[in-house]
Amino acid sequence: MVAGVVFQQRHTSDSQVNTRLSKVLRGGRLAEERWAEVQVGDVIRMENDQFVAADVLLLSTSEPNGLCFIETAELDGETNLKCRQCLPETAEMGQNDSLLGTFDGEIACETPNNLLNKFEGALAWKQKRFPLDNDKILLRGCILRNTQWCYGVVIFAGKDTKLMQNSGKTKFKRTSIDRLLNFIIIGIVFFLLSMCLFCMIACGIWETLTGQYFQVYLPWDKLVPSEPLGGATVIALLVFFSYAIVLNTVVPISLYVSVEVIRFAQSFLINWDEKMYYEKTGTAAKARTTTLNEELGQIEYVFSDKTGTLTQNIMTFNKCSIAGKVYGDIIDETTNEILEVTENTPTVDFSGNPNYEPDFKFYDGTLLDAVRQNNTDVHNFFRLLALCHTVMPEERNNKLEYQAQSPDESALVSAARNFGFVFKERSPNSITIEVNGQKEMYELLCILDFNNVRKRMSVILRRKGQLRLYCKGADNVIYERLKEDRGDMKSKTQEHLNKFAGEGLRTLCLAVRDLDEVFFNNWKHRHQEAALSLQNRDEKLDAIYEEIERDMTLLGATAIEDKLQDGVPQTIANLALAGIKIWVLTGDKQETAINIGYSCQLLTDEMIDIFIIDASTFEEVESQLVKYRESIRSVSNHQVPTAVSIVTFSESEYQRGQSIDDSENGSSFALVINGHSLVHALHPQLEKLFLDVASQCKSVICCRVTPLQKAMVVELIKKNKKARTLAIGDGANDVSMIKAAHIGVGVSGQEGMQAVLASDYSIAQFRFLERLLLVHGRWSYYRMCKFLRYFFYKNFAFTLCHFWFAFFCGFSAQTVFDPFFISVYNLFYTSCPVLALGIFDQDVNDRYSIMYPRLYSPGHFDLLFNKKEFLRSALHGFFTSCVLFLIPYGTYKDGVSPKGHVLSDHMLLGSVVATILVIVVTAQIAMDTSYWTMFNHVTVWGSLTFYFALQFFYNFVIHGAYVGSLSKAMSEATFWFTTVLTVTVLMIPVLAWRFYFVDVKPTLSDRVRLKQRLAQLRSRQSQDVLRTPSARRTRRSIRSGYAFAHQEGFGRLITSGKIMRKLPRSNGGDFFFPSFSNHGGPSNLGGVPTHME
C-alpha cells in the first residue's frame, strides 16, 4: 500500500511535465500536443516566457536578423539572457505555417550527449549545406525571453535531450539502517538454525537415554523405527523442523511491515509541519518518498546549488558611495549608530516619480534629497548608471520593463530609474534617458563591452558637442586607471568599498572621463585598424582600450546585494555546528560564487587560506593540489590550539557526555575549484589527491560545473568517504546530483519543477533544510532506532521462553504459550505501543533540537542503533525470557493452592508466563517512552487492558483451549506475588542502569532534556540564544563582486543594429551609424561609428 502511494505520487509528478502542451505543425496547421507526443522532425512554435519542449534547431523568430533570447537557469543556473540566432536562409520563412510545415531539410549531427555548451552538425537544404553550432540550438529546459515567437525543428526529444542526458539514472535508494537490518536478519536466521540444531541434538540424546522408556505414556509415531537409536534420530530430525516453526518468531517478519508503517506516518508529519510552510507561495514541505526518513538524521555532506537555492535570484541596490559620502545606512540621530534594517524600517517614498517601481526599496532618504537638490556628483552618478549598460527596454502592458544580461546590471539601471534617471530607449546610435521628466538624448559613439579579462565596460557618448566616456567595473581595475588627483576621495571610497565588501555586498566602481574631439577621432581611426587586424587582434584592441580608459575621474561606488534567501547564513552555521559539511556546486562563475560564499558564511576572514584551483591542464591541476596539500600539512604541524573549539563527540565520549577539542586540520581552510579544473581533479589518477585536500577544508565551492560534474562529485564522496550525502537544488541542472545523493531535496523555486520531480523531499526555502534535518531527520532516526531496539528485545523475550521450556519438556517442541496467544502477541498486544513510540517519541522538542545542533551527531556514528546495540537488546531479551520463565516455573512447580488445588499444570503456567510477559514488555515501553501523547497513553495502557479483555473473551465466550487457566491463577495470591517479583527483578536493574548513567555520565541529550524539563517546571521559555555567526559580518578583504555575464555582452549587437526591431529614421546626419568590416569577429567588442554615406 505504501509503495502504491509513493508510485502514485511519482506518476502524478511525471504527468505534470509530460502533459505540458506545445504547439506543433501538423499538416500545415498548428495543433497543441503534449510534450510526450513531440517527436524528432516536428516543427514546433514557441512563444515568449514558455519552456522549450525539446532540443530544437532554430528556424525563424519574431526578432530582426533571426535573433532570439533565452534564459538557461534550468540548465546552468544562470538567469542572465543569452542570444541565439537562426540561419538567414531559414529566417525568411517567418511564421508562414505552410512554408514551415513543408520544411524538408536534412540534419546530420552528433549523437545524443550531455555537453550543454557544444553542438556539431550540418543542415542540407535546397542543395546547400549549412554548418550548425550551439548558437543555433535551443535546448529543452530553456525559457524564451524578450521574443514574441520562434519556430524550430526538433533534433532530440525525450530522454535524448541534453537536459535529460545530464539528469543521470534513477537509482533505488536504501537507508543504512535497511542494510544493517538485512545483515542482522541473516544473523538471526543462523541463530534460529543453531537453536533448532541444539534442540535437535538434545532431543536425540533425551529420547535415547530417557524417552524410549516412556513409550507407554508418550508412544512414538508408527513412522518412527522401534530401534532406540534409529527412532531417536528420526524424532530428533523431525523436532528440528518443529522448533524451526515454534521459534520462527525470533525472525521478525512483522518488523518490515512496522518499519514501513512508521516511515509512512513520519512522512505525513513532515508534510503537516506548519513551520516548513512558505506562505508567500503557499508551498508546504513534502516527503515524496516514505523509505528514507531516518537517513535524514545521518547526513554528513550537503551538496547545494547556489542560484535559486541559496539565493533568491534577486539583486537589490543596497548602498552606494558618491564623492566620498556613503548613502544607504540608517543612522540613529541620538546615538549616531548605524541601525539594522528590519521589516518595520520605513522606506523612501518614490511615488512622486511616475516611472518608479513599487517593489524597489531604499531606506536612506538623504540620497533622494540630494537628487532633488540637483547635487552635481549625485546626478553624474545616476546618469552613468542610466547610460553605461547593454540593457534592452521593452514596453509590456504599457509598462516599461528591462531585459538585462545579468541581474546586477538590471538592478543598477532599475536604481537609476527609481531615483529619477529613467532609461527609456536605445537605437544602434543613440540612448535616450529621462531625468526628472526631461528627455535627454545621447549619441552613442562606441561601446567597449565587458569580458572576464577586462572586468569593466565603457560607453562613449556625445551630447551638445561634449564627448564623455562613462566606465564601470571592478574596483581594482578602475583604481588603476584613475587620475592622480583627488586622493582623499579615493581613500574614502576605498574605505567604503571595504565596508561594503565586508557586509557581503557586490561592489562596483564608477568613473568618467571627458574627451576632446581631436583625440577621439584619432583614437577611433586606430581602433578601426585594430578591429580589422587579422593578427593579434585581441591584444591590439586591449591596448587601444587602455589608451582611452585612463586618467578617469572617480564618481563613486555601488553596493548590490545578491539577496540570499531568508535564514541561509544561520542555517549553514547551524548545520556546520551539527557536524555537517557543506559543498556548493554551482554553474555560476568563480567571482560570484565566492561572493555568495562570504555572504552565507561559508568563507570567512578567519580562515587561514582559501585555495583556488583554476588551472586548465592535468599537470597544472596536480601541481596546485600538491602545493595546497603541503600547505595544509605545514600549517597543521605548526598550528597552536585556539581558545575557541568546536565540540564533537566520539562514540564513547558522546555516551559519557564529555567534550573534546576538535582538532580538524580543515577547520581553517576553504577550497574553490573551477569546472575545467574539476575535469582533471576527478580523473582516477587525481581524485584521491583532490579528495585529500577537499576533505581537510571546512568549505568547498565548485563553480562553472556541469550537471554531470555535480553528480560525479557526489559519487566521489559516496565511494571514498562512505558518508551519507544530501543534494539540494531547484533547477533541472541539479537533477543529476539529486539522483546521485543518498537523499535528494528539491526547492520549489523559480527554475521550474524538474528538481522537485526528481527529489525525495521538497521544500520551499533553503532555511527549511535546517528543520528537515535537525528536527524531523533526527527525530526519525531517534524513533526508528528506539523502535528497533525495543522490537528485538520484545521478540527475544517472547520467543526464548519456548527455548527454556524445552529443557523441561524433553525438547519435544511443546509450546509454553497458548497457540492463540502466539498468533496475536505481535499483532494485538505489542504492536500499537511500539508503533506509537516510533511515530511520536522525541527526546527533546523541536526548539531545543535546533538550539543544540550537536544533538544531531549520534547519527554520523550510528550510535543509536548498530550491531552492538542490537546485541545489547538481544541479550536484554535473552535475560528477560530467562527470568520470565524460571521464576513462575519455580513458583508453580509442584504448586498447590491453600484449598488443595494443583497449580502445576502446563496451561496455568503458560497463562501466567504470558500475562507477566505482556506486563513486563508494556512496563518496558512505558519506561522507554520519553514523550507521552494521547496516542501513547491509549496504546500502552489500552494494549494491557485489551490483553485481559481478549483473554476473557477468547476463553469464556469462544471456549479456547486454555479456558479458566488465567482466571484460576489470578484468584490466588501466588500469581500476584510472582508477578510483582518478576517485574521487580526485571525492571530494577534497568532503572538502576539508566539512573546511574544519567546522573554520573549523562549524554548531551540527557543534559538538554533536563534543561527542557526545568524550563517547563519554571513555566517560562529558556532565554538561551542560538550562537550562530551574524548574517553580515565585517571582513577585511577588498574585493569586487560585480557579476557581468559570462559571455561577451550585447554591445556588438546593439551598435550593429541587429538587435533592434526597427532602426530610427535618418535625422540629417546628426548621429553616426556604426558599420563593421566583414572580417570583424568576436574580438570586436565595440562599434566603430562612421558617417553614413
Catalytic residues: 305
Tell me how far apart the alpha carbons of residues 381 and 375 are, in angstroms, rounded to a whole number. 10
Tell me how far apart the alpha carbons of residues 64 and 150 are, in angstroms, rounded to a whole number. 12
> Strand 466-473 vs strand 67-71: parallel, antiparallel, or unpaired?
unpaired
Tell me how far apart the alpha carbons of residues 596 and 602 are, in angstroms, rounded to a whole number. 8
Q: What is the 3-state secondary structure (H, E, C) of 2-42?
A: HHHHHHHHHHHHHHHHHCCEEEEEECCEEEEEEHHHCCCCC
Please compute, for residue 644, the number of CA atoms within 13 A of its CA located in the half-sphere on the CB side.
Answer: 3
Query: 1043: which 3 cell numbers?
Result: 557579476
Query: Do 744 and 263 contact (CB within 8 A), yes or no?
Result: no
| Sheet with 286-287, side-by-side order of all strands | 286-287, 761-763, 743-747, 725-729, 301-304, 581-585, 699-703, 669-674, 609-613
Helix (H, G, I), strand (E, B) or coil at 124: strand
Tell me how far apart the alpha carbons of residues 156 and 713 are, in angstroms, rounded to a whole number. 27
Cα distances (Å, whole numbers) of residue 104 to 271, 427, 823, 983: 52, 37, 73, 87
**Short-list 426, 442, 504, CA closest to 1055:** 426
User: Is residue 1065 left, alpha or beta, with left meaning phi > 0 and alpha meaning psi from -120 to 50?
Assistant: beta
**Residue 512 pairs with which residues in a beta bridge?**
470, 553
Please compute, for residue 26, the number of CA atoms within 13 A of its CA located in the half-sphere on the CB side.
Answer: 10
Query: Do 459 and 447 contact (CB within 8 A), yes or no?
Result: yes
**Residue 466 pairs with which residues in a beta bridge?**
463
Fill in the DSSP letter of residue 532: T
Query: Radius of gyration of the chain from Cα atoms?
Result: 38
Helix (H, G, I), strand (E, B) or coil at 775: helix
Helix (H, G, I), strand (E, B) or coil at 637: helix
Backbone angles phi, psi at 76, to 5 degrees: -130, 5
Query: Do 1071 and 1057 contact (CB within 8 A), yes or no?
Result: no
Tell me how far apart the alpha carbons of residues 570 and 202 are, in angstroms, rounded to a whole number. 65
Backbone angles phi, psi at 826, to 5 degrees: -75, -25
Cα distances (Å, whole numbers) of residue 676 to 39, 236, 589, 593, 681: 34, 71, 12, 15, 9
**Short-list 541, 559, 357, 575, CA closest to 458:** 541
Tell me how far apart the alpha carbons of residues 1028 and 272 are, in angstroms, rounded to a whole number. 28
Tell me how far apart the alpha carbons of residues 1011 and 488 are, in angstroms, rounded to a whole number. 56
Give 138's contacts (C-beta < 8 A, 6+ positions apart). Answer: 46, 52, 55, 56, 58, 68, 70, 84, 144, 150, 152
Query: Do 507 and 577 contact (CB within 8 A), yes or no?
Result: no
Q: Find the Cα–Cα–Cα–Cα dihedral 987, 988, 994, 995, rounded to 10°.
A: 140
> Strand 325-327 vs strand 311-322: parallel, antiparallel, or unpaired?
antiparallel
Tell me how far apart the alpha carbons of residues 318 and 508 are, in angstroms, rounded to a whole number. 12
The dihedral built from the CA positions of residue 997, 1001, 1004 and 1008, taken in this order, carries a sign that is positive
Tell me how far apart the alpha carbons of residues 128 and 121 are, in angstroms, rounded to a whole number. 14
